[in-house]
Chains A and B, each alone.
Chain A
């Protein structure tokens, strides 16, 4: 168990709908990352938050948004869903050892858009 909690584990919805994915990082970790995993695109970085502030942005669509709250949990909001948004969405939190930032992933949310 990585200590990163993601809910829900599975989500089935229809095109055009909006969903919210939730992530609680490991205790003490300030950074949260969101990744999308699909069969054809692999693991794609979406966005990173650090202590409530957006730190870096990757290939995140304008229909997607995220935020990190004062208690450090994060939510990823996906709107106007399309069939191609079906994927596994992972959250990770990070911690530094002496030299590097190491990511710890949750078990993911499987999103199915029908």
Chain B
């Protein structure tokens, strides 16, 4: 079935430390994996994405890695800042249902001063 598992559900780090959020997916045909950040009172915002023909992608302090064999991908945030505090969602496209995005259950990240 179409399933994306996300861990951990909550993550607390000290400002300046790194944060890592991991997701696994069930469909080996999935080829697109975006990450969304949701701040309080707002909708999810796309922050980075990766395709299955790429193993790693970086954008300033944010990076995503993909292991297609193991069917998991991770979000890495370095030098965390208080404004990184939000809920982060991973997602995967499942091609069976018309390119539908299926989301993970979310990770509440708190960056403490």
Contact = CB atoms under 8 A, between A and B. Distances in A.
Interface of A: 2, 4, 33, 42-43, 45, 48, 55-56, 58, 90, 92, 99-108
A55 B104 CA distance: 23
Interface residues of B, number: 23
A33 B102 CA distance: 12
Nearest to B44: A105
A99 B105 CA distance: 26
A90 B44 contact: yes
Contacts of A2: 43, 45
A106 B45 CA distance: 9
Contacts of A106: 43
A102 B99 CA distance: 11
Given A42-B106, A43-B89, A45-B102, A56 B43 contact: no
Contact of B100 (A56, A99, A107): A56
Contacts of B42: 107-108
A100 B51 contact: yes
Contacts of B89: 42-43
Given A42-B105, A43-B89, A102-B34, A56 B49 contact: no
Interface of B: 32, 34, 36, 41-46, 49, 51, 89, 93, 97-106
B86 to A, nearest CB: 13
A105 B45 contact: yes
Nearest to B6: A42
B43 A4 contact: yes
Pairs of residues from A and B, 3 with the lowest C-beta to C-beta distance, nearest first: A105-B43, A56-B98, A43-B103
Contact of B98 (A55, A90, A99, A104): A55
A107 B99 CA distance: 23
Given A45-B102, A92-B43, 10 more contacts: A2-B45, A42-B104, A48-B100, A90-B44, A100-B49, A102-B46, A102-B49, A105-B44, A105-B45, A107-B41
B9 to A, nearest CB: 10
Nearest to A100: B32
